[in-house]
Amino acid sequence: MDHETDKALAQQICEEIQSGNRDAISEIRKKHQRYFIPFARQSLSDPECFLEEFWDELSDGKVLCRYKGDSSLKCFLINILKIG
């Protein structure tokens, strides 16, 4: 997936979230969850709980709506995960 495709997907999901569909994040979650699990297991004592909170926070759209397509969506989300 290229950055423009990532950006279009993020914008679409952001719009859906802003329209009240907080479950819209599930599409991104399905695509990227597998990348986050190993990172979380290495870095955290309770990775499953942390990842649930991470996705819950993303479902409000504030973070996702800041994505501008400068990097892949996966890299953007991993950086958010590292900061969290």
**Which CATH number covers residue 53?**
1.10.1740
pLDDT at residue 10, as a whole number: 94
**Is the per-residue pLDDT at 48 higher than 90?**
no
Least confident range of 5-9, 27-31, 35-39: 35-39
Q: What's the structural domain count of the chain?
A: 1
How far is the C-alpha of 26 from the C-alpha of 31, rounded, in Å? 9
Helices 26-43/47-58 angle, 10° precision = 150
Mean pLDDT of all residues in 58-65: 90
CA atoms within 13 A on the CB side of 84: 23
Predicted TM-score (pTM) of the model is: 0.81
How far is the C-alpha of 7 from the C-alpha of 51, rounded, in Å? 22
User: Residue 78: pLDDT band by 50, 70, 90 thresholds?
Assistant: confident
* Count of positions (residues) in the chain: 84
How far is the C-alpha of 13 from the C-alpha of 19, rounded, in Å? 10
40: domain range?
A: 3-83
